[in-house]
Structure 1
Amino acid sequence: MEDENVVEQVEMQCDSMERDCCVVTGGRGFAARHLVVKLIQSGRWTVRIADLGPTIVLDEDEENGILGHALKSGHAVYSGADLRDKSQLLKVFEGASVVFHMAAPNSSINSFDLHYAVTVQGTKNVINACLECKVKKLIYTSSPSVVFDGIHSIYNGDESLPYPDKHNDIYSETKAEAEALVLHSNRREGLLTCAIRPSSIFGPGDKLFVPSLVTAARAGKLKRMKICYEGILIAPSIKTILTVNDLHFIIGDGENMYDFTYVENVAHAHICAEKALDSVRADSEDSAAGKAFFITNMESMKFWEFVSSIVGGLGYQRPRIHIPLKVMMPIACMVEWIYRKLAPYGMPLPQFTPSRMRLLTCSRTFSSLRAQKLLGYAPVVPLEQGIKLTLESYSHLRADVPIIRSRNIDVPSKACKMLKNEKVANILLWRDEKKTATIAITLVTFFYLFFVSGYTVMSVIAKFLLLVALILFIHSFLPSSMFGFTIKQIPSSYFQINEENVDHVSLHLASAWNSGVFILKTLAQGKDWTLFFKTMVFLLFLKFLGAFSLSTLVGAGLIFMFTAFYIYEQKEEEIDDTLKAIAVVLSNLKELMLSKLAIRRHPH
């Protein structure tokens, strides 16, 4: 009822006022949606929402809210427009007096061509369209990252900070170039411009930051849990449906400070900027025109404390284990190097990159004094309240809310199918932590006793058989029960091999020998190049293994067993995508070599 009353009040206010026209580019983005609603609520504007989609698709709450009613009444209009096409922008900007330019590609997309075309070339088109359509004001949504080099922390930085020689990523580099274009266009043919730099936006409707935190919090035991399937509870005995492995790690010392800005404050800052761009004061020192402004909640806090407040507020365990940046950075650099090599073949951008490691460990706080003085900006929602409102809006992502999955979680994972034996899978996939840890410690102990000391293969075998003989000899003297435990005697038949097993092993050996002979015969004919390459790769791999000692190979094998299958089960999709990309690279390389060999064998 309250929402309906608000909508009715806004409509009455709008009907009683003469409205100007404003445009919001990227109007379906996270912060832009909040700005659109605030502009409608003000009653001053007919809002043109410009975005890439041909039509607007409203969420359920939008359909019945202020935006839905404004679209029906004509107080808001949607227009599909591509920033890369100036002709489309001219149609949208016609008759508008103000443009809020908020459109930008997703910062996680690592494509220079896309960012440059949309952010830089698109902004040039926006400026030119504003000039041709006689738009009076242009407010550009920039980012504090335009002054961040990815190395040095920023403490209470103000607008005197220059653009760095090298930015942390493509997104920041192109945003800086676009911001400079907007500010340099100030007062061209009467157009007044300014740039807003909101720091780390959060709030209801965010589809990136908070959901990614929840995804990380849920990673770990999620695939092993019995959860809801198509709305039907599979395991009602589980008290908490999502008691999962949460965000465990804090990268760095956890002391780095950040400025987080509640999304409604960002929308409010844009409206303050529009009011401050007064042509009467455009040439005065106190004018907002031609300037950039840092926008924050004016309540800096530790980055990892904010993450903890979101994750903990949704019922997940807060991060608690510190990992030094020096440990993580070499791994991140290796991941980035692999991505650069495989990106042309379809490998998706990894989340684990040096630039993101720096963002997680550097301090970035900014002063909003200029915005206070020249825009009249002050946060309308305090940080604590903003966090509370954000948590309330994501109640469906709480740890105690069942997840609806489209497939049965009880279907064995690929890692489980690879291991085949259920008992082995339960151990190597850490489904029983105590049992897995016990076996792992036992194997590590054996590894230390038999291999670390540098014994030869024969001495290791002899030492192992000696230990087995000693255990069996002692076992034969033990009583049937001891300290309340039943001790079963091991029958001699336990060590015997029946004829069926001998025949089975013999057949396998004979089959392997015959396969080897067939491969040698085929290679001798010199026709099957694919088989030749496979054989070469296999022999090179054996040569590679031969360069290591037996103890090194056994140690690496132990680590691989207890980590590789577990990691694969948790990151199945990402690893499969990477392997597919590698397979494409190898396939292309093989085809290239085969084509060259064919040309040499059959020259024209």
Structure 2
Amino acid sequence: MQTETKEGSPEMAEGGGERWCVVTGGRGFAARHLVEMLLRSQEWWVRVADLSPSIVLEPHEEDGVLGAGIRSGRAAYVSADLRNKAQVVKALNGAEVVFHMAAPDSSINNYQLHYSVNVEGTKNVIDACFECKVKRLIYTSSPSVVFDGVHGIFNGEESMPYPDKFNDSYSETKAEGEKQVMKANGRNGLLTCCIRPSSIFGPGDKLLVPSLVAAARAGKSKFIIGDGNNMYDFTYVENVAYGHVCAERTLASEVGTNKAAGQAYFITNMEPIKFWEFISLIIEGLGYERPGTKIPFSVIMPVAHAVEWTYRVFSRYGMRVPQLTPSRIRLLTCNRTFSCAKAKDQLGYEPIVTLKEGLKRTIESYSHLRAQPQRKISKASIYLGDGKIAKTVLWKDKKQTVTTLLLLAAMYYHLFSCGYTFITAMAKLLSLTALFLFIHGMLPTRILGYNIEKLQPSNFHVSEVKAQHIACSVSSSWNSAVGVIKSLCKGKDWLLFLRAICFLFVLNVLGAMSLQTTFKIGIPVFFIAFYVYEKWEDSIDNLFEDASSYILKLRSNATQKFSRN
């Protein structure tokens, strides 16, 4: 649906005694939720201001509160570029309150763009508020205005100073805009305050979840940058909208006291969580494998600097902005949690949606990005138990496969190539294992900045449940073998007979070899055979079936000849 901007004509807003508010950047992620919350409150006529010449509603908006608001006149759209003061004045004319949420994409590190919108655009908004006699201005800032890009923040408070050096141009220009809004408080009857929502997520987000899914589909979401223990404050988008509403109500109710006027407030879900656990919950909730492989900060950071340097050199030739930059690495590995005590005390803010419920709603809203159903499990994987062994042998986890092959090669060189018997080789292997466990137990918990994870006795403990599971697996395997013997005794399943003969032939060949030769030849054959069987499973099965049919045909011919005689 396209709605022309005439419905948002400021001249039409002044009649009838309606209370109009303006949401700049009103078609943005968080702003859409604020617009709908304001309309549901029935307190406001809402003017949505954004860059597009007209508003295009999505299907759920057409049938929702925004579509109904536009049709009834309670909502209106006006096209305005914040860098054009005349357009801003026209958008704000007749408004009592302005929620200034417009800002460029924070992932684009373009100083000129951010300065023109976040600084010069904000100045135009403030000047337009003075000219149009707006009573209250609530500015959407960012917690990044107190982040220097190096030191983590744990339970940060609003008294934290601005850093001397910012992490990126978005944070720097947001801080400049915030300063302007603070300074404007009390001038010409305008009351202002700033909201700093931390790491917004929720339905309608076009950055976080889509980028996570794209990385998962490309196989790039397997890694955890750093130790994975850094804490973060994420904020569900409805809570962000509610924080703005609380700020406006407080400013409106405190004329003469000015407790919240000229202040900044952190807004979070008040439920700090490990950053990588939050990411994992989203990825796993959409059906993808959660990150598991940790890459130390000291390893990835030099690579990020090299990538950034390469971009600076080749950007003029059209090189795309890289995702792996030092500033992003710092954001992914540091603590970023903030206290909402001030917002709770002065604004009466408390989250209206819990983190758990917010994650549930977010995951449900991205059902179209769920992982596609996996193809059926191969027979080779089933034969190998469809677990870690299958992933290793079938090269599903290449890192694990290569590590296993290197360990086997080391075992062969140190144990079997010397001509040891099986018992001697196992004794040496157990001796080396005992030595490793003893030395590992002596090590401190931290060496050169790296955490040493200690092996707990519980790692070797077999619980009663697991013991029962192992016993069931053994008995199931035994019963399967008995079933094969029963089928063979009937003398009807020639395909099974042929497979059994091949299996026993391989065992016979391996049994005739020395332990050294068996290890040297058997291990590579084992890895290659299962890999080949999985790749050409149908063809190999067809060969067995053809061979079985041929044997049956020979048997039939032989039976006919004997019957004639």
TM-score (norm 2): 0.64
1:374-453 → structure 2 map (5 Å cutoff): 374-400=346-372, 433=395
Distance 1:181 1:260, change over 3 A: same
Name the counterpart of 2:128: 129
Question: Which whole-Å CA distance do the structure 2 matches of 1:436 and 1:378 have between them?
Answer: 47
8 Å contact from structure 1 (residues 152, 362) kept in 2: yes
Q: Distance between the aligned counterparts of 1:167 and 1:42, measured in 2?
A: 38
Q: Which amino acid aligns with 2:134?
A: V
Instruction: Identify which of 289, 300, 304 aligns with 1:328.
Output: 300
How far, CA to CA, are the matches of 2:506 and 2:118 in structure 1?
Answer: 77
Structure 1 gap segments, 5+ residues each: 1-16, 221-245, 403-431, 449-480, 486-604
How far, CA to CA, are the matches of 2:253 and 2:400 in structure 1?
75
Change (3 A) 1:437 1:283: closer
| Cα contact 1:19–1:44 (8 A) shared by 2 | no
Runs of 5+ unmatched residues, structure 2: 1-15, 375-393, 411-504, 510-565
Q: What residue number does 1:343 align with?
A: 315
**Is the counterpart of residue 308 in structure 1 residue 307 in structure 2?**
no
**Equivalent residue number for residue 204 of structure 1:** 203
The answer (yes or no) to whether the contact 1:141–1:197 under 8 Å persists in 2 is yes
In structure 1, the residue matched to 2:413 is: none
Give the C-alpha shift of residue 344 in structure 1. 2.7
Q: Partner of 1:259 in structure 2? A: 233
* Distance change (3 Å), C-alpha of 1:482 and 1:210: closer
1:166 corresponding residue in structure 2: 165
**Identity over aligned residues, as a percent?**
62
**Which of 228, 242, 249 matches 2:223?**
249
Which of 344, 361, 366 matches 1:372?
Answer: 344
1:497-553 deviations in Å (ceiling 9; x for gaps): xxxxxxxxxxxxxxxxxxxxxxxxxxxxxxxxxxxxxxxxxxxxxxxxxxxxxxxxx
1:157 match: 156
Helix, strand or coil at the partner of 1:315: coil
Match of 1:73 in 2: 72
Counterpart CA distance in 2 for 1:107 and 1:198 is: 14
8 A contact 1:251–1:325 mirrored in 2:
yes
After TM superposition, the runs of 4+ consecutive aligned structure 1 residues lying more than 4 A away are 434-441, 481-485
Question: Cα RMSD (Å) of the superposition?
Answer: 2.9
Choose which of 298, 306, 330 in structure 2 pairs with 1:358.
330
Match of residue 246, structure 2, among 249, 272, 284: 272
Q: Distance in 1 between matches of 2:332 and 2:400?
A: 35
Q: Which amino acid aligns with 2:338?
A: F
Shift of 1:111: 1.1
- Between 1 and 2, higher relative CO (CA 8 Å, sep ≥ 6) is seen in 1
TM-aligned CA deviation for residue 41 of structure 1:
0.5
Q: Which residue of 2 aligns with 1:182?
A: 181
Letter in 1 for 2:129: C
Change (3 A) 1:482 1:361: closer
Deviation at 1:280? 4.4
Summarize the alignment of residues 518-533 of structure 1 with structure 2, pairs less than 5 Å apart: none
Q: What letter corresponds to residue 74 of structure 2 in structure 1?
A: H
* Structure 1 pair 265–439 and aligned structure 2 pair: CA distance change class (3 A): closer
Q: Which amino acid aligns with 1:94?
A: N
- Pairwise CA distance, 1:343: 2.1
SS in 1 for 2:55: coil
The answer to whether the Cα contact below 8 Å between 1:159 and 1:292 also exists between their aligned partners in 2 is yes
| Cα pair distance change 1:347/1:314, threshold 3 Å | same
Deviation of residue 283 (structure 1)?
4.1
Check conservation: 2:395, 2:401, Cα contact below 8 A: no
2:103 alignment counterpart: 104
Post-superposition offset of 1:348: 1.8
Partner of 2:530: none
Aligned partners of 1:181, 1:437: CA distance in 2, in Å? Answer: 53
Q: Deviations 1:65-92 (Å, cap 9, x if unpaired)?
A: 1111111111111111100000001111
- Distance 1:483-1:331 versus aligned 2 partners, 3 A rule: same
After superposition, what is the alpha-carbon deviation per residue over 1:384-429, rounded to whole angstroms, capped at 9, x for unaligned? 1111111111111111369xxxxxxxxxxxxxxxxxxxxxxxxxxx
How high is the TM-score relative to the length of structure 1?
0.60
Pairwise CA distance, 1:439: 12
When residues 105 and 435 of structure 1 are mapped into structure 2, their CA distance, relative to the original with a 3 A threshold, is: closer
Distance 1:251 1:440, change over 3 A: closer
Partner of 1:317: 289
Q: 2:55 is matched with which residue?
A: 56
Secondary structure, counterpart of 1:189 in structure 2: helix
Summarize the Cα distance change of 1:173–1:484 in structure 2 as closer, same or farther, 3 Å threshold: same
In structure 2, how many angstroms separate the alpha carbons of the residues matched to 1:369 and 1:439?
Answer: 51
How many correspondences in the alignment? 384
Q: Who is 2:119 aligned against?
A: 120
8 Å Cα contact 1:19-1:43 kept in structure 2: no
Partners of 1:333 and 1:47 in 2: how far apart? 46
- Contact kept? 2:21, 2:99, Cα under 8 Å: yes
Equivalents in 2 of 1:68, 1:341: separation in Å? 48
Give the Cα–Cα distance (whole angstroms) in 2 for the partners of residues 102 and 435 of structure 1.
45
- Cα deviation, residue 53, structure 1: 0.6
| 8 A Cα contact 2:66 2:75, kept in partner | yes
Contact 2:305/2:326 (8 A) holds in 1 = yes
Cα distance in 2 for residues equivalent to 1:60 and 1:219: 30
Q: Deviations over 1:21-75 (max 9, x none)?
A: 0000000000000000001011111111000111111111111111111111111
Deviation at 1:444, TM superposition (A): 10
The residue aligned with 1:86 is 85
**Cα offset for 1:261?**
0.4
Closer/same/farther in 2, CA of residues 79 and 255 from structure 1, 3 Å limit:
same
Q: Which is further off, 207-216 or 290-299? A: 207-216
Distance 1:330 1:435, change over 3 A: closer
Three-state SS of the structure 2 residue aligned to 1:328 is helix
User: Match for residue 242 of structure 1?
Assistant: none
Q: How has the CA–CA distance of structure 1 residues 399 and 194 changed in structure 2, closer, same or farther, with 3 Å as cutoff?
A: same
The residue type equivalent to 1:268 in the other structure is: Y
CA displacement at 1:347 relative to structure 2: 1.9
Quick one: which amino acid aligns to residue 99 of structure 1? V
Deviations 1:577-597 (A, max 9, x none): xxxxxxxxxxxxxxxxxxxxx
Residues 439 and 39 from structure 1, CA distance in 2 versus in 1: closer, same or farther, beyond 3 angstroms?
Answer: closer
* Cα pair distance change 1:437/1:269, threshold 3 Å: closer
Seen in structure 2, the aligned counterparts of structure 1 residues 92 and 322 have a Cα distance that, compared at 3 Å, is same
1:31-46 matches, within 5 Å, as 31-46=30-45
Distance 2:399 2:275 in 1: 34
Q: 1:291 is matched with which residue: 263, 281, 289?
A: 263
Q: CA deviation at 1:484?
A: 7.3
Q: Is the 8 A contact 1:18 1:44 kept in 2?
A: no
